[in-house]
Amino acid sequence: MRFQFKTEYNDDIRLYQDRVQLAWYVALLITAVSLPLFLGDFYISQVTFILIFSIAGMGIMLLVGHTGLVSLGHAAFLAAGAYSTVNLELLGVPFFLALPLGGLFAGVLGAVLAIPVLRLTGIYLAIATLALAIIIEDIIVLAEPLTGGVVGLSVDSIYLFSAAGPEINIYFTPFRFYYLALAVAALVALLYANILRSSTGRAFLAIRDSEVSARAMGINVARYKTLSFGLSCFITGLAGGLLAHFLGHINHEAFLILTSIELLMIVVIGGLGSIHGAFFGAIVFGMLPLTVSIAIETFGAPLGITSTTLPGLSTGIFAGLLVMFILVEPFGIYGRWLKIRTYFQLFPLYRRDMFRRHKSYLKTERMR
């Protein structure tokens, strides 16, 4: 059993609990940096895809997991970040400026739309964001001068500072693209962690637990909801800019309503309310199609079963995993890991009731 003796307030808000956890994070970072030494181009591309959706997962995690606001329309802001980044690059803006500006555009757009939308709560908020995900497909088709319409836009290679700089392309230089996605993911995770340890992050958590109690403590609920939505869309917009270059060609089919649902499924399966959950969910989302394809080729070939005879199998399995986690493990993959870790840390004092979700709620919530 390992004990952590806290002597000051900063012990509760620092980025890591103790030196052991810091050592694990350092080891994870070293492993991530050295990964291209052990994997080929194909698998590096798959890991890059996972990193991109980890960034998008952190975006929606901030909104759903830490502020308690459900969104089924985040594909719209993924598209906003993608198209704005590509158009800025076409105007001659270097990528290292175009990507954050594209994310900023998505964030401002999300904050503006949040002002009327966040007057709704619960299922009504989910329906409003769902309508946004449906509308964005038509907007992309109609805004042909900026989006290329139905045909879409072809995306060139990445040049960080100028056209004379090193080329970054997922097909020709996948290792460079991987390191770019890894750097953005690490910076976003660091930004996210610092937001949570600030007064702003604590306001988000207060709103998630009880809006009435948050108002009683003097928190401007409307302001912090809008800020949360804007920050969430900013992070999702960064993922959209990277996704555009990963795909090489974007049109409205890359940002369907199914994408919004998949983003929500990522954070639910990974574990709501934790940065780690966004990465765990993205790993499942990224590796599941590849695993299913390998399994079909290995075990289905003798039976005459191929990937074409079972279309949508990966999506069905992903949906089945979502239902299973909701019924069996509502805390997601990260929640299960916390239970296992706590069991060994507290053995033999561990009790299953430590993680039980209580059906009771604050009396103030009964006013709603």
292 token code pair: 């299913």
Q: Is the pLDDT of residue 117 over 80?
A: yes
Domains contained in the chain, number: 1
Is 200 inside a domain boundary?
A: yes
The pTM of the full predicted model, rounded to 2 decimals, is 0.89
Domain with 173 in it: 41-355
Measured distance CA(215)–CA(80) in Å, rounded: 32
Q: How confident is the model at residue 367 (pLDDT cuts 50, 70, 90)?
A: very low
Residues 138-176 have pLDDT tens digits of: 899 888 888 888 888 888 888 887 776 788 888 888 999
In a domain, 1, yes or no: no
Q: What are the backbone angles phi and psi of residue 167, rounded to the nearest 5°?
A: -85, 140
Q: Where are the beta strands (DSSP E) in 146-234?
A: 153-154, 158-159, 167-168
Q: Let me know: does 126 contact 139? Beta carbons within 8 Å.
A: no
User: Cα separation of 359 and 290, whole Å?
Assistant: 39
Whether pLDDT at 365 is above 60: no
Would residue 265 count as lying in a domain?
yes
Given the DSSP bridges, would you call strands 158-159 and 167-168 parallel, antiparallel or unpaired?
A: antiparallel
Do the domain assignments include residue 215? Answer: yes
Tokens describing residue 124: 């009504």
Q: Is residue 27 part of a domain?
A: no
- pLDDT tens for 215-257 read 988 999 989 999 999 999 999 999 999 999 999 899 988 888 8
Q: Residue 336: pLDDT above 90?
A: no
88: which residues sit within 8 A by CB, 6+ positions away?
97, 98, 101, 102
- Residue 152 has phi, psi (to 5 degrees) of 90, -170
CATH number for the domain spanning 329: value is 1.10.3470
Q: Specify the length of the chain in residues.
A: 368
Q: What is the pLDDT of residue 81?
A: 94
